């Protein structure tokens, strides 16, 4: 059933049964084909039509005869031809989603059914336009399945109003899709009248995809212009490496910047026991902000000894004695070893506090209307580095946004911030969701103008409560049943959606549903391209002129009106 | 109303074939039917036919050497009505009235056969007649297919689908008829 519908003007079939909760049963007309995820519409009278999605395709027989005694290879061909669509036939399960009026009424949830034998047609562009009409701009996400010449878009405002997620196994096209969404966000944002009207992104770019260029690995390596090339004056690139090309600044973390709370999220990745984390809290309490510097020293300092003993023991004091004195005999040693390893990283500086400057620069950029991409370079495969930086930066920036929002009665509210994280399940799994800042951001929806765009391969590992707060989900192919179930859990018509996800192709096919769309849609996502025509088309869909108008100030200084020029916080 | 009989004036060795479509063009309607049976025998049932001729002699030779026999025998066909034409409109259904007695029965033309068969719908009245057994139905379908000419496949498939609909409770009968249509 993979062929596109051969004749879109002919009915797909007729309604032969069904219910609002279980969907319609449609008998496929002879000679027609349908695909899982395809849109279909049927009239219900009174000028209303129902738009639904094909969620299953079944081969049926009217009675047991043809299946009990199927025609063999040596049977006349006529017997097979005759039995097709008489003794045996193809049935479509169509989940009804929307009721559409003739006169531009807002689409409503389908609450009535067509009568028996109503003709079911493939949806046309006019129907899709009515179904997916948005008040504001929309981001085109691709062509609905089986309708290559049509296009659907997601509501720009609603997409970033709540957290969103892009899920799919490796190599399915998540990164290209995210780049497309971010590109659209920045394109639209750049045209906003004021910084507070802008939506900006803070991207934790694990594999250097969203900075200067995105590389594709395959039979031949190709490169796609990424955000910095597309929006030179609206993006700042930060890196963890000191000698990275095209960097606007380096992320540096001082040991004094790391709080025990920052280690909570690293518990599993750093293999820290609960007792070791407790020991970190105890160290912070006793030794102050320089606690990491103290515990990674070879021997306890005099200050440490003073704080642990009223009367120091005779002779030299070692860490075993200090750990025993603190009540963490084994776990403090374990914590010391891990902190020692953590501080060996190039971007972690001992005996100092660096992070405040970084935060200050990043927040100023973000609230000034620029998006920030933090590239991890060679640290991209080091999950500890990724989680440490993403968590520390996000927590502190969220606190700044929270403060700005709470003071917004006095001042202008901050712009909307979308934090983009990869491997999201590592941050918001069941055990960590309570402590992680990302769990908190997802749960608080848009309270402080901060939302998430999570990218993940294993949605089943994400805390269900957090996952349920993801407003719009882009789901590419997933292998595990658990992952599929996690995505559709609690969604109306989930059994149908489960089938649809299971049938997605391995590349560039996505099921999109949730807050930004009136009904689910399976799309063939756009091909990655550097073509100017694609950019012009995107701008048109976003309600912008085809060519970017560069203001004289931006041309001269390369910065939006009220933001600071990029600086190196190091 | 559902069937009629037609008789030749005397015995004929080549009557209309089983499944052949015939027409009576008299009365208010042109009435069409399919031959479901053919019977030849003495006109007077009290005078049964006794063996004649020498061993090894063919039936035709016996008839030729005994010309009086043909006058004493009669061939009668049973015809199941399968449609009619009412004011130029072909209807694959029983006519409201039977054809008149003594009206002449003729072979339907190819064009009439295709029109009355109406993509297999003539099988509805045909199958409702108990006399139309599997062999008759298969022969009738083949007959119309021949009349349709070289492009007979669409008719065969359409008639087969109609048959499948009518025999949905008897899949084995459907199979056996279709095997007879296209061995």
CB contact under 8 A, A87 and B174: yes
* A306 DSSP assignment: H
The CA distance from A451 to A471, in Å, is 10
Q: Are residues A261 and A392 in the same domain?
A: no
The CA distance from B77 to A53, in Å, is 58
Q: Are residues A360 and A314 in the same domain?
A: no
- What number is the average pLDDT over the span B67-94? 92
Q: Are residues A413 and A281 in the same domain?
A: no
The CA distance from A332 to A324, in Å, is 9
Chain segment A40-88, per-residue pLDDT in tens: 999 998 889 999 999 899 999 887 777 777 777 777 788 888 888 888 8
Q: Are residues A197 and A239 in the same domain?
A: yes
CB–CB of B155/B144 below 8 Å? yes
Chain segment B133-145, per-residue pLDDT in tens: 999 999 999 999 9
Q: How many domains, chain A?
A: 3
User: Residue A61 domain-assigned?
Assistant: yes
Q: Are residues A119 and A166 in the same domain?
A: no
CB contact under 8 A, B168 and A71: no
The pLDDT, as a whole number, for residue B96 is 93
Write out the residue range of the structural domain in which residue A372 sits: 154-252+354-551
Kindly tell me the sign of the dihedral angle through the C-alpha atoms of A102, A108, A112, A118: positive
Size of interface A-B (CB pairs under 8 A): 51
Helix axes B134-148, B110-117, angle to 10 degrees: 120
User: Residue A522 domain-assigned?
Assistant: yes
User: Residue A562 domain-assigned?
Assistant: no
% of chain A beyond a pLDDT of 70: 88
User: For residue B124, what are the contacts with CB-CB under 8 A and spacing of at least 6?
Assistant: B92, B93, B162, B166
Kindly tell me the sign of the dihedral angle through the C-alpha atoms of A428, A434, A438, A444: positive
User: Residue A158 domain-assigned?
Assistant: yes
The pLDDT, as a whole number, for residue A29 is 92
- What number is the average pLDDT over the span A334-343? 91
User: Residue A141 domain-assigned?
Assistant: no
3-state secondary structure string, chain B? CCEEEEECCCCCCCCCCCCCEEEECCCCCEEEEEEEEEEEEECCCCCCCCCCCCCCCCHHHHHHHCHHHHHHEEEEEEEEEEEEEECCEEECCCCCCCCCCCCCEEECCHHHHHHHHHHHCCHHHHHCCCCCCHHHHHHHHHHHHHHHCCCCHHHHHHHHHHHHHHCCCCHHHHHHHHHHHCC
A65, A78, A83 ranked by CB distance to B181: nearest: A78
CB–CB of A318/A329 below 8 Å? no
Contacts of B172 in chain A (CB under 8 A): 65, 69
Q: Are residues A272 and A296 in the same domain?
A: yes
Greater confidence, B161 or A134?
A: B161
**Mean pLDDT score of chain A:** 83
| Closest to A187 measured CA to CA, from A479, A516, A536, A494 | A536
The DSSP element (H or E) to which A284 belongs, if any, is helix A274-287
pTM above 0.90, yes or no: no
The CA distance from A441 to A419, in Å, is 9
CB contact under 8 A, B168 and A81: no
Residues in B lying within 8 Å of A, measured between beta carbons: 156-157, 160-161, 163-165, 168-169, 171-172, 174-175, 178-179, 181-183
Q: How many domains, chain B?
A: 1
| Closest to B21 measured CA to CA, from B9, B29, B30, B12 | B30
The pLDDT, as a whole number, for residue A358 is 83
Whether residue A570 has pLDDT greater than 70: no
**Mean pLDDT score of chain B:** 91
Question: What Rg value do the Cα atoms of chain B yield, rounded?
Answer: 18
The pLDDT, as a whole number, for residue B172 is 83
CB contact under 8 A, A65 and B171: yes
Q: Are residues A298 and A439 in the same domain?
A: no
3-state secondary structure string, A366-402? HHCCCEEEEECHHHHHCHHHHHHHHHHHHHHHHHHHH
Provide the CA A283 distance to its chain's centre, in angstroms.
37
Greater confidence, A146 or B135?
A: B135
Chain A residue closest in CA terms to B165:
A86
The DSSP element (H or E) to which A488 belongs, if any, is helix A481-488
Chain segment A389-418, per-residue pLDDT in tens: 988 888 888 888 888 888 766 567 788 899
Whether residue A158 has pLDDT greater than 50: yes
Q: Are residues A233 and A373 in the same domain?
A: yes
User: Residue A149 domain-assigned?
Assistant: no
User: Residue A386 domain-assigned?
Assistant: yes
Which of the residue ranges A137-146, A426-435, B54-63 would you say has the lowest mean pLDDT? A426-435
Which of the residue ranges A45-49, A428-432, A493-497, B144-148 would you say has the lowest mean pLDDT? A428-432
The CA distance from A456 to A434, in Å, is 19
Which of the residue ranges A147-151, A228-232, A364-368, A463-467 would you say has the lowest mean pLDDT? A147-151
The pLDDT, as a whole number, for residue A433 is 61
Contacts of B171 in chain A (CB under 8 A): 63, 65-66, 69, 87
Chain B residue closest in CA terms to A85:
B161
Which of the residue ranges A362-366, A552-556, B72-76 would you say has the lowest mean pLDDT? A552-556
Contacts of A65 in chain B (CB under 8 A): 171-172, 174
- What number is the average pLDDT over the span A521-526? 84
The pLDDT, as a whole number, for residue A195 is 72
The pLDDT, as a whole number, for residue B4 is 92
Write out the residue range of the structural domain in which residue B32 sits: 3-181
Greater confidence, B12 or A15?
A: A15
Contacts of range A101-104, beta carbons closer than 8 Å, 24 or more positions apart: A101/A47, A101/A48, A102/A47, A102/A48, A103/A47, A104/A130
Q: Are residues A248 and A261 in the same domain?
A: no
User: Residue A358 domain-assigned?
Assistant: yes
Contacts of B168 in chain A (CB under 8 A): 62-63, 86-87
Greater confidence, B56 or A548?
A: B56
The pLDDT, as a whole number, for residue A560 is 44
Q: How confident is the model at residue A568 (pLDDT cuts 50, 70, 90)?
A: very low
CB contact under 8 A, A69 and B171: yes
Chain segment A196-225, per-residue pLDDT in tens: 778 999 999 988 889 888 887 655 557 888
Residue A561 CB coordination number (10 Å): 12
The CA distance from A545 to A441, in Å, is 34
Which residues are registered as beta bridge partners of A513?
A473
Take residue B1 and report the two structure tokens written for it: 């109303």
Chain segment A246-278, per-residue pLDDT in tens: 888 888 888 888 989 888 888 888 888 889 999
């Amino acid at each position: 059933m993979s062929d596109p519908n051969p004749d879109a003007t002919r009915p797909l079939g007729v309604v032969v049964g069904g219910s609002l909760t279980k969907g319609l049963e449609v008998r496929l007309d002879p000679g027609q084909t349908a695909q899982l995820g395809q849109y279909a519409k049927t009239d219900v009278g009174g000028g209303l039509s129902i738009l639904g999605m094909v969620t299953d395709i079944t081969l049926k027989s009217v009675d047991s005869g043809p299946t009990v005694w199927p025609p063999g290879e040596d049977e006349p061909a006529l017997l097979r031809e005759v039995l097709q669509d008489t003794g045996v036939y193809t049935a479509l399960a169509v989940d009804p989603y929307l009721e559409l009026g003739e006169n531009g009424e807002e689409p409503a949830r389908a609450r009535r059914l067509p009568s028996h034998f109503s003709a079911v047609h493939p949806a046309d562009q006019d129907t899709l336009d009515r179904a997916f009409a948005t008040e504001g701009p929309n981001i085109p996400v691709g062509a609905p399945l089986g309708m290559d010449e049509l296009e659907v878009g997601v509501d720009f405002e609603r997409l970033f109003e709540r957290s969103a997620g892009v899920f799919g196994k490796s190599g399915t096209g998540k990164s290209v899709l995210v780049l497309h969404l971010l590109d659209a966000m920045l394109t639209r944002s750049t045209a906003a009248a004021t910084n507070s009207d802008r939506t900006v992104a803070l991207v934790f770019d694990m594999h250097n995809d969203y900075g200067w260029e995105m590389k594709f690995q395959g039979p031949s390596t190709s490169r796609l212009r990424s955000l910095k090339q597309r929006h030179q004056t609206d993006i700042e690139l930060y890196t963890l490496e000191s000698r990275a090309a095209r960097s606007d600044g380096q992320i540096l973390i001082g040991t004094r910047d790391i709080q025990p709370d920052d280690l909570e999220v690293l518990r599993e990745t750093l293999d820290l026991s609960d007792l070791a984390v407790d020991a970190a809290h105890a160290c912070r309490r006793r030794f102050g902000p320089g606690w990491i510097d103290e515990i990674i020293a070879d021997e306890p300092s005099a200050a440490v000894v003073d704080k642990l003993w009223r009367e120091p023991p005779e002779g030299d004091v070692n860490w075993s004695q200090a750990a025993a004195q603190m009540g963490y005999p084994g776990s403090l040693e374990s914590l010391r070893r891990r902190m020692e390893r953590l501080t060996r990283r190039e971007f972690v500086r001992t005996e100092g506090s660096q992070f405040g400057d970084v935060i200050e620069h990043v927040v100023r950029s973000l609230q000034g209307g620029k998006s920030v991409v933090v590239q991890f370079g060679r640290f991209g495969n080091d999950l500890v580095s990724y989680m440490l930086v993403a968590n520390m930066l996000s927590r502190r920036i969220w606190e700044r946004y929270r403060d700005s929002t709470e003071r917004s009665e006095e001042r202008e509210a901050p712009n909307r911030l979308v934090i983009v994280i990869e491997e999201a399940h590592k941050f918001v799994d069941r055990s960590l969701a309570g402590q992680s800042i990302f769990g908190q951001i997802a749960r608080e929806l848009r309270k402080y103008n901060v939302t998430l765009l999570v990218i993940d391969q294993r949605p089943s590992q994400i805390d269900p409560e957090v996952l349920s707060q993801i407003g719009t989900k882009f789901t590419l192919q997933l292998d595990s049943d658990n992952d599929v179930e996690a995505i559709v859990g609690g969604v109306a018509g989930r059994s149908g959606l489960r089938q649809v996800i299971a049938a997605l192709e391995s590349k560039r096919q996505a099921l999109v549903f949730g807050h930004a769309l009136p009904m689910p849609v399976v799309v063939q996502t756009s091909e990655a391209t550097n073509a100017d025509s694609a950019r012009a088309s995107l701008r048109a869909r976003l309600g912008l002129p085809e060519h970017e108008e560069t203001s004289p100030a931006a041309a001269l200084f390369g910065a939006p009106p009220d933001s600071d020029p990029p600086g190196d916080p190091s | 109303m559902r069937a009629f009989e037609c008789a030749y004036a005397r015995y004929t060795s080549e009557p209309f074939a089983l499944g052949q479509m015939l027409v009576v063009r008299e009365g208010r309607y042109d009435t069409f039917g399919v031959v479901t049976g053919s019977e030849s025998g003495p006109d007077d049932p009290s005078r049964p036919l006794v063996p004649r001729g020498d061993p090894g002699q063919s039936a035709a030779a016996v008839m030729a050497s005994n010309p009086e026999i043909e006058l004493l025998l009669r061939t009668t066909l049973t015809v199941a009505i399968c449609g009619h034409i009412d004011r130029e409109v072909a209807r694959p259904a029983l006519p409201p009235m039977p054809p008149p007695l003594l009206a002449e029965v003729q072979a339907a033309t190819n064009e009439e056969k295709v029109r009355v068969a109406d993509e297999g719908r003539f099988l509805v009245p045909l199958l409702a007649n108990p006399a139309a057994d599997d062999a008759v139905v298969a022969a009738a379908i083949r007959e119309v297919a021949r009349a349709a000419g070289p492009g007979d496949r669409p008719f065969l498939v359409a008639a087969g689908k109609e048959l499948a609909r009518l025999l949905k409770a008897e899949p084995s009968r459907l199979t056996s008829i279709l095997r007879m249509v296209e061995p």
